[in-house]
Amino acid sequence: MPDQPLPKARTPEAGPGKSETAPAHEGISRRRLLGTAGATGLVLGTAGAAGGYAAAPSEAAAPLTSLGTDRAMFHGKHQPGITDGLQARGHLVAFDLAAGAGRKEAAALLRRWSETARRLMAGEPSTHADTDVARDAGPSSLTLTFGFGHSFFARTGLEKQRPAALDPLPEFSSDHLDKNRSNGDLWVQIGANDALVAFHALRAIQKDAGRAAKVRWQMNGFNRSPGATSHPMTARNLMGQIDGTRNPKPTESDFDQRIFVPEKPEKGDAAWMANGSYAVVRRIRMLLDDWEQLSVKAQEDVIGRRKSDGAALSGGTETTAMDLEKTDAKGNLVVPINAHARITRPDQNGGAAMLRRPFSFHDGIDADGVPDAGLLFICWQADPLRGFVPVQRKLDRGDALSQFIRHESSGLFAVPGGAAEGEYVGQKLLEG
């Protein structure tokens, strides 16, 4: 879990992959939403709010809260769900093409998926006859992101189009991978700030697959809900640590260079991946019972940062640069040599950088009472061999955190650039 910051939600503005607040005068997307600011007894999001509300009789009814109106754009230079702020709920699902399905069927599927994503992200009704579970909600920052796995290209006769950056990840000594929950021909990431909106998108995507593809694996995740803290802050993981302090930021001059494939791909890059990115997906189980036996001081030494505010043990605030040479009165390094935050620093890994955008997960309690919980680690980079791989190799050689986590599944996916108006995701690959 490299020590880089989770992306902050951007100031609403139109543009590819960015969130915007839908104007109140736009029609209510899925169905007329319940309640208006003037409805009797309805004051939401303020102290002393009265209980109860009435159905709004007006066609101009507004969403119940601002969360519902937040909207990410489907069409754009990059796919959504990469630079957008963290969402409260997420689903990751991988598909394998059905026997006999090839390039033609894959193209038709991506066309269906793209149209479904466009509609649902705009808050429009699904074309499916379903339970209409999200009928009362607005877009709720819904994003859908699509990628191709290594095996997809052989299945569709497109081996010559498979980028070198999609070569299988090397084995790591800390891996305990379940092959049935790893990789896949196709990958879909779904995120939203409302659980029912996210679930509705998951069902729609599954229905769209029809006979062309079947689910290989599926995982559910969550993050802190927007507005749950008194001020915006970096998220915490299930170990209670502030997680993601040093994420590259879109405002940095070399952000696009490190996270996205160039618009004019370099030698060896696939042209159809222009403006795309590569997603490494890892299900990392946290051994919480063992972790919680440590004192707070011991936990901080493992990470290299204070648990309370995420500041480096060398002092300052969360964003203060870590002093790797600082020692205590006894001459010991303040940030231990095997601290997770020290090992994952980009300047300690040849500048290797990745944009982390994870979800936490909790899938119940094992028979022995141990929680099956941890991190659905998702990181984005222009080239995983220069981003994820060197950092993970270094972690493999002596990360203090390694005895408290277990990598249980893994996947690498090529995520092409965003679809322009009238196009579908992956069209340049499948029709090129």
CA-based Rg of the chain, rounded to a whole angstrom? 22
Token pair of 161 as six digits: 């189009």
**d(Cα 278, Cα 259) in Å, to the nearest integer?**
8
**Residues sharing a CB contact under 8 Å with residue 23, sequence separation 6 or more, in sequence order:** none
Distances (CA, A) of 318 to 242, 246, 274: 9, 9, 35
Q: What six digits make up the tokens of 169? A: 């990840």
Instruction: Please provide the DSSP assignment of 287-316 as one string.
Output: -HHHHTTS-HHHHHHHHTB-TTT--BTTSS
- Closest among 283, 245, 294, 299 to 360, alpha carbons compared: 283
Query: Per the residue annotation, which of 185, 243, 256, 301 is the catalytic one?
Result: 243
> What CA–CA distances, in Å, run from 359 to 109, 114, 215?
26, 23, 20
Helix 103-121 crosses helix 195-209 at what angle (to 10 degrees)? 160
- Whether the CB-CB separation of 286 and 404 falls below 8 Å is answered with yes
- Contact indicator for 245, 345 with CB cutoff of 8 Å: no
- Amino acid identity for residue 426 in this structure: G
Name the strand (E) or helix (H) holding 110.
helix 103-121
For this structure, is 243 an active site residue? yes
Q: Is the dihedral of CA 322, 384, 116, 75 positive or negative?
A: positive
> Which is it for strands 371-381 and 355-356: parallel, antiparallel or unpaired?
antiparallel
Annotated catalytic sites, by residue? 243
